[in-house]
Amino acid sequence: MRMRAMLAVLALAAAWTAPALAAPVSVKIETGVLTGDAADKALVFRNIPFAAPPVGELRWAPPQRAPAWAGERDAVKPGPSCPQPMRPDGRPNAGAANGPTSEDCLQLNVFAPPIAGKSAAKAPVMVWLHGGAHRYGAGWIYDGSNFARDGVVLVAINYRLGPLGYFAHPALTKAAGPDAPLANYGLMDQIAALQWVQRNIAAFGGDPDNVTVFGESAGAMSTLQLLAIPQTKGLYEKAIVQSGGGWFAPASLAEKEADGAAVADRLGLPGVQASLAQLRAVPADQLIAQTQSGNYGPFPDGRLLKETASQAFAAGRALDVPLIIGSNSGEDSLMDSFGMNPGARALPPIVKAVYSEDAAKGEEALARAIFTDRVMGGPARWTAAQAAKGAPAWLYYFSYVGARFRPATTTAAHAAEIQYVFEYWGRRTDPASLGPDDRAMASLMHSCWVAFAKTSTPVCASGPAWPAYQPARDQLMEFGADSGVRTNLRKRQLDAQERIALPTLGLPR
């Protein structure tokens, strides 16, 4: 598949811009003193190491504690992105990242609420996991100032990507201890960041006992996988999954080792016989050149991650925390990003029957509707139903199309909701192009997410009450041109997707 990825992320992701400085502000954490900005809406600290640089013997190793520093560390400018393919013209890539990259990238940014020049105390915390197909993106792109303005400490992190973040090889397995985690290094980084939050967030006024982990796309998939890891219990109390799917096909460590051996072979090393020293000696840019030829992302390594998130939810083993999960009406934009052929062929009779309205619009419209439901809509509803057996879950459907895209565009692309959640207009959205309904949608969604972080319930600033999801009622919140609670939205189509998909994954209905 071509990895021109996430065009929607390019267009819609929030991005860092230099704030209007008020005064420098300092905070002391476990590794030393940071000096950041006291900006209009937030106390902002950037490029904070949450783990040691994963270089040398720490490449493809579990993250270690960050070393201390002497004096004050400048925390004004963002740090580098983790290694990933970048555009030669310097423009943002498929995950909206540009600028320098470095293997020394395990850092995060903190946006904290200011009160009379000082941070708030016991503020709820939200930890953002960026998207980008586990291959692209960076935490520094996202501006959490409006969360801080509304009383939330927002933490946005980097994590290892592509062949540096998700890589297995027999040499790595041999060198690791019998129970040491393997291969899912990006996922390990996310856990290390959550552990850092537990140890340090009080210094920024955050409450380590009230943490919400949330993400979009690859970050949302990661959030689901974190819920399948028992060791993450206590690192967060709530989760939000934005277009993260929910049905995952399992892969084995042996399969991933074979993939790693193939990468080694393409790099001119002796494939499965390559040594750990040979692998770690490969320059990062040569490894990153393999990004588009591999399948990278979390998988059950049998140690850290023992089952997929869908297996954990089906068996009732996922961590039981309040959950918001949802998808967008135009998730088929990913078909364009990944170069998929939008043709529909050899469809089962059940699909032809329930998608008759889409089929009437042509083969491409049918394929796009099926993709949206199969990859995102169906899994989100199914996961909400499994989660609802314990702590409450809330399901949403984002269909709002910005004023500048209408009437040519009729559905909300993958990642389109991000700027509304952050209530922030990034570098690819001209604020002058916004209409009052755009700003109203941002205020609405942002208020829902803030309320969930504060109270574990998404009590939104306007509109009807958002009911917790119950399969028998099948109600969700639609964020659209006419936002409100919907009942049995696309029920026939999503039921059909469950009947087809779940047996192939060994999951019960």
- pLDDT tens by residue, 320-346: 999 999 999 999 999 987 777 777 666
**pLDDT at residue 2 in the model:** 33
- Residue 5 pLDDT more than 50? no
Q: Confirm whether 331 is a catalytic residue.
A: yes
**pLDDT at residue 346 in the model:** 64
262 versus 426: the higher-pLDDT residue is: 262
Q: Which of 331, 423, 478, 498 is catalytic?
A: 331
E strand spans, 342-426: 393-398
**CA pair distance 308, 344, nearest whole angstrom:** 28
* Whether the Cβ atoms of residue 132 and residue 94 lie closer than 8 Å to each other: yes
Is pTM, for the whole model, over 0.85? yes
Q: What are the contacts of 195-200 at 24+ separation with CB within 8 A?
A: 195/235, 196/50, 196/51, 196/66, 196/108, 197/125, 197/127, 197/155, 197/235, 198/234, 198/235, 199/30, 200/29, 200/30
* Whether the Cβ atoms of residue 68 and residue 56 lie closer than 8 Å to each other: no
* Whether the Cβ atoms of residue 92 and residue 429 lie closer than 8 Å to each other: no
Mean pLDDT of 283-312: 95
Q: Which of 414, 446, 478, 483 is catalytic?
A: 414
Q: Confirm whether 363 is a catalytic residue.
A: no
**CA pair distance 421, 216, nearest whole angstrom:** 11
**CA pair distance 468, 405, nearest whole angstrom:** 32
* Whether the Cβ atoms of residue 155 and residue 127 lie closer than 8 Å to each other: yes
E strand spans, 39-188: 43-49, 72-74, 107-112, 114-115, 118-119, 123-129, 153-157
Tokens coding 36: 């950041």
Tokens coding 214: 């949330």
- Residue 293 pLDDT more than 90? no
437 versus 2: the higher-pLDDT residue is: 437
pLDDT tens digits, one per residue of 187-235: 999 999 999 999 999 999 999 999 999 999 999 999 999 999 999 999 9
226 versus 121: the higher-pLDDT residue is: 226
In CATH terms, the fold of domain 7-504 is: Rossmann fold (3.40.50)
Q: How far, rounded to the nearest angstrom, does the alpha carbon of residue 223 sit from its chain's CA centroid? A: 7
Q: Confirm whether 257 is a catalytic residue.
A: no
478 versus 340: the higher-pLDDT residue is: 478
Give the rounded percent of residues in the chain with a pLDDT score beyond 70.
93
Least confident piece of the model among 263-267, 377-381, 431-435, 437-441: 431-435
Output the CA–CA distances (angstroms, integers) from residue 222 to 129, 207, 218, in the order listed: 8, 23, 6
User: Torsions phi, psi of 17, nearest 5?
Assistant: -135, 150
Q: Which residues contact 385 (CB under 8 A, 6 or more apart)?
A: 393, 469, 471
Q: How far, rounded to the nearest angstrom, does the alpha carbon of residue 348 sit from its chain's CA centroid? A: 32
User: Would you place residue 1 in the very low, low, confident or very high pLDDT band (cuts 50, 70, 90)?
Assistant: very low
Q: Which of 81, 119, 217, 333 is catalytic?
A: 217
Tokens coding 152: 């939330």
